[in-house]
Chain A
Amino acid sequence: MTTAEHFADRPRFLPAGDSALVVEFADRVDPEVSARVLALARRIAGAAIAGVVETVPTFRSLMVHYDPLGISNQELRARLEPLLRDLAGQVPAGRHWHLPACYDPSLGVDLAEVAERTGLSAADVVKAHSEAPFRVYMVGFLPGFAYLGGLPALLELPRRENPRLKVDAGSIAIAMAMSVIYSIESPGGWNILARTPVPLWDLRRDPAALMSAGDRVSFAPISRAEYDELAGKARAGELRVTPQPHDA
């Protein structure tokens, strides 16, 4: 059985006004759904359809933003229809980011609570999270904010009942079946396990957003002292991280 057959339902179009169209594949968080969303995004970029402004991949669907003065909704659907055929759920070779992450309780402020709620030791929580192979399903909510799929099931928890008004940039947090990395300081309700000194969003860098949907991510635990040193370099704009090519 091929991956395409596995998802018997064809993706469907959903209206989102007269300047955006949703192509929905499923309504769940699933690596193969994400892969098909990203495959369609690449196909649309390759097709260079006049009037299409950009596409935004999400967990379950692709939003196609377009200029209604450049292409009608009906024409757009007709142009997209052939691109929906045989969308392989093959996950493309993406960039692989190895991000230093400090799980010290001074930065991973919810680590103890997560350990208690999951019945694991703090060390086991760190081990499970840092050994998980994550993949970026979606960049959204805030500039450069990355949603990562691939959280081990033993770490699944709901969001915090009382969201924090301020979560620091770089915070690595978990909820449900996902992990996220806060790109800039913002309010947030996820359970914070660690912090990376690598800026997910830095306007001195091109592109300013570090990650794109489809990238792979793993976390390498570092000490608080190492974090402080790297964070100092990051503030000075001297912390360079380069992704490794797909390493299977």
Chain B
Amino acid sequence: MRPGLRLLSPGLLTTLQDRGRIGYQHLGIPVSGALDPISLAAANLLVGNPADTAALEIAYQGPTLLVDADSIRVACVGAAASLELVGAGARAGRRRLALFESARLLRGEELRIGALTGGAVLYLAAAGGFDVPPVLGSRSTLVRAGIGGLDGRALRAGDCLPLCQPRAPEAEEVRLAGLNLAPPPRFRIILGPQDDYFTAEALAALSQKSFTVTPASDRMGMRLDGPHLSHSKGYNIVSDGIAPGTIQVPGNGLPIVLLADRQTTGGYPKIATVISADLPALGRLTPGAQVRFEVVSIEAAEAARRAQAAELAALARLIGPLPRTVQIDEGRLHGANLVSGMVDALAGDPA
């Protein structure tokens, strides 16, 4: 039988995601991919995978996974959640795993991932990756079009997600310390391409007022509530292209920031675009989180992106061996879950 991870319960929206489907937007095919590629990369590095290997993207409520393989090495990075391992055989009993650490699980063991707090997404990477066929160069799931992942859909109870490696050799486990997943005080934006379709008041409100992430948000777009952004020249434009992080404003005046599963083209005026370096942090926000924007230049955006790329390249240096004593110290592990600072996301704007 094929080695795999069996889903005893699927969680709320658990999908496979990698860095997305690049180069097919001219055919109407959205890019998709991880909402938070930084956490995806970190989870992969912890289990020795290339940073863009497809991993489970877990939203809001985690799944319960049964190991249906000799052994598997996993790591979870992202929003805080309880990770309870129900052991089997000689390891019977319950213990807690920690985020930002690798762990080797054995056949018959059950990983119960609880509700996410302080962030929208959590990534579970498996050493060697998941054995599903790429579609147009990517394993990312796009539920709307029924492509990628496992049969083009979110995972369900009873699914068995096949693994590329039947077993994970015993090895020293590792941890990642010092990855900052906290949201920036302000998300940086570049005005345009249709900022001239809005009133001066709308442009002022965009950079001065606070917006709230609403529960109607999904992988396609983050719907914000807040001051209405009034159009000065109507709200129907002849469709043009949509960039990652585009902020489009339909007739009701409430902005939608377009995320991973965004449509390739659209006919609402786009007031601004969130810079690429701030998109991973935006993808982590949960409903209720406050969002403030700050207009920056393209040069500033490019500098921020280069700095982030340098941090990502140095991520491996933050990974070190997991001290033996820590492996059984639940209190410290639990504390380690929270050092990310992501809990601040719900506490409001620190500025």
Contact = CB atoms under 8 A, between A and B. Distances in A.
A184 B243 CA distance: 23
A41 B145 CA distance: 26
Interface stretch (A62-70, A79-87, A96-104, A235-243): A62-70
B239 A138 contact: yes
Interface stretch (A17-25, A106-114, A216-224): A17-25
A209 B276 CA distance: 28
Interface in A136-154: 138-145, 147
B84 to A, nearest CB: 38
Contact of B241 (A18, A58, A201): A58
A56 interface: yes
A28 interface: yes
B270 A16 contact: yes
Interface in A1-45: 14-20, 22, 24, 27-29, 41
B2 interface: no
Contacts of B25: 54, 56, 65
A67 to B, nearest CB: 9
B301 A61 contact: no
Interface residues of A, number: 49
Contact of A20 (B145, B241, B263): B241
Contacts of A28: 238
Contacts of A208: 27, 136
Contact of B237 (A27, A141, A203): A27
Given A24-B193, A59-B238, A61-B241, A18 B27 contact: no
Nearest to B27: A209
A212 interface: yes
B241 A16 contact: yes
Interface string A46-59: 00000001111111
A139 B194 CA distance: 21
A61 B263 contact: no
Contacts of A74: 298-299
A15 B277 CA distance: 16
A56 B244 contact: no
B246 A73 contact: no
B294 interface: no
Contact of A139 (B27, B144, B190): B27
Nearest to A29: B238
A74 B145 CA distance: 36
B10 interface: no
Contacts of A212: 26-27
A17 B23 contact: no
A72 interface: yes
Interface string B220-253: 0000000000000000011111111110000000
Which bracket fits the contact residues of B?
Answer: 35 or more
A73 B240 contact: no
Contact of A18 (B135, B266, B302): B302
Contacts of B239: 58-59, 138, 140-141, 147
Contact of B263 (A54, A55, A142): A142
Contacts of B299: 72, 74
Contact of A24 (B190, B240, B243, B264): B240
Nearest to A213: B26
Nearest to B193: A14
Contacts of A27: 237-238
Interface string B133-169: 0011000000011110000000000000000000000
B309 A69 contact: yes
Contact of A22 (B27, B193, B266): B193
B260 interface: no
A183 B28 contact: yes
A55 B26 contact: yes
A95 interface: no
Interface string A134-176: 0000111111110100000000000000000000000000000
21 contacts: A14-B192, A15-B273, A16-B192, A16-B243, A16-B273, A18-B305, A19-B244, A22-B193, A53-B22, A54-B25, A58-B238, A59-B238, A59-B240, A63-B241, A69-B305, A74-B299, A140-B265, A141-B263, A141-B266, A144-B29, A208-B136
Interface of A: 14-20, 22, 24, 27-29, 41, 53-63, 65, 68-69, 72-74, 138-145, 147, 183-184, 186, 201, 203, 207-209, 212-213
Interface of B: 22-30, 135-136, 144-147, 190-194, 237-246, 263-266, 270, 273-277, 298-299, 301-302, 305-306, 309
Q: Which 4 A-B pairs have the closest CB atoms?
A: A63-B241, A17-B273, A140-B265, A20-B243
